[in-house]
Amino acid sequence: MKHIKVSSVDLKSHPDLNEVWVHSVIAEDPSILALGDVIVKDRERIQPGAGRLDLMLQDADGPGRYEVEIQLGPTDPSHIIRTIEYWDRERKRYPQYEHTAVIIAEDITSRFLNVIGLFNGTIPIMALQMKAVEMPGGVGLIFTKVMDTLQLGLVDDDEEESEPMDRAYWESRASTKTVKLAEQVLEFCRPFAGSVEFSFNKHYIGIWVDGKACNFATLRPRKNALVLHIKLPKEAGLDARLEQHELDLLEYDRRWKNYRVRLSSGDIGKHEGLLKELLKLAYDRRKSS
């Protein structure tokens, strides 16, 4: 394959290319940031009394929002402070979304990478280094993720330290009927998982296999229905199958990577085959990870 010589472009000192140009390139095709399937929600978004947010991106089919600030040249303290301030304002105004601060700069220095790292874990921050390259047909932008948000542990990583509950707690919080629905789901797992049992926790019912936490699925009984969380990556083919079976699907949980299905007593029997298949897929994936 023929090698094409390219040269880097310093956008900060370029006479024609500027931050507005970068905004336009990203807005035209936000996939170049590699943040997933995102759309442009807003540009130059006004922050009352605090300037304008460069870009607001949003998951095309999920609850994620990204407050994006762009800096030509190297990062500086004001850039970091401004990014965090805009992120904080947006999450307070729209708490129903999952907000992530995104810093983009041509040069993210090690010093400021360390500073950003101090916030990661308490403030979800991503840092992308931007490089402009000149080619025969024009100038292209390359974005490299040099810092990602802190990866959350699996649901069962801290289960042994979580507040233990019992069956009576969930029957009182939800209902005896929906806890029995959860038991039916557990029975679906026995053919492939063997010795399975419930772990009753304050916020969910987990699954233990052979005496150890193995939450390939978690269950949350409600008064009149059971919400089943199945830990599988979101895939178009799987989405189509679930829609075809007319399951009562809730919004995909991108944070924990769970499909969420609301089940009534009639759904358990009607969709038994599909539920067993999904649970086994999640179990096999969990055991191989």
Q: What is the CATH number of the domain that holds 275?
A: 3.90.1150
Contacts 24+ apart (CB under 8 A), 51-58: 51/82, 53/86, 53/90, 54/19, 54/23, 55/23, 55/26, 55/27, 56/90, 57/30, 57/33, 57/102, 58/97
Q: Quote the tokens at residue 204.
A: 């969910």
- 2 belongs to a structural domain: no
- 226 belongs to a structural domain: yes
- Look up the domain containing 271 and give its range: 155-288
- 1 belongs to a structural domain: no
234, 278: one domain: yes
- 24 belongs to a structural domain: yes
186, 91: one domain: no
Dihedral of the alpha carbons of 123, 149, 151, 25, in degrees to the nearest 10: 150
64, 12: one domain: yes
> Comparing C-alpha atoms, which of 40, 46, 68, 74 is closest to residue 125?
68
pLDDT value of residue 131: 92
- 254 belongs to a structural domain: yes
255, 281: one domain: yes
171, 65: one domain: no
- 92 belongs to a structural domain: yes
pLDDT value of residue 163: 61
Strand partners, 56: 42, 67
84, 177: one domain: no
Instruction: Report which DSSP code applies to 289.
Output: -
26, 88: one domain: yes
CATH code where residue 89 lies: 3.40.1350.10
Cα 63 to the center of its chain, rounded Å: 8
CB atoms inside a 10 Å sphere around CB 197:
11
Cα–Cα dist 286/289, whole Å: 5
Rounded (to 5) percent helix, strand, coil in the chain: 35, 35, 30
Structural domains in the chain (count): 2
pTM of the predicted model, to two decimals? 0.56
Examine the fold and report which residue of 147, 164, 188 is the final residue of a domain before the chain moves on: 147
206, 241: one domain: yes
Contact partners, residue 191, CB within 8 Å, separation at least 6: 276
Examine the fold and report which residue of 122, 147, 172 is the final residue of a domain before the chain moves on: 147
180, 261: one domain: yes
Run means of pLDDT, 10 residues per run, the chain, 289 residues: 79 85 90 87 83 88 86 86 90 86 88 73 85 85 82 48 77 94 96 93 90 92 94 88 86 83 92 95 90
Q: Classify each residue of 119-152 as buried b or exposed e, where b means 16 or more C-beta atoms within 10 Å of its C-beta.
A: ebeebbbbbbbbebeeeeeebebeeeeebeeeee
142, 252: one domain: no
Examine the fold and report which residue of 147, 176, 191 is the final residue of a domain before the chain moves on: 147
163, 277: one domain: yes
- How far is the CA of 278 from the CAs of 105, 229, 240, in angstroms? 42, 11, 13
pLDDT value of residue 60: 76
48, 126: one domain: yes
Reduce the DSSP state of residue 153 to 3 states and report it: coil
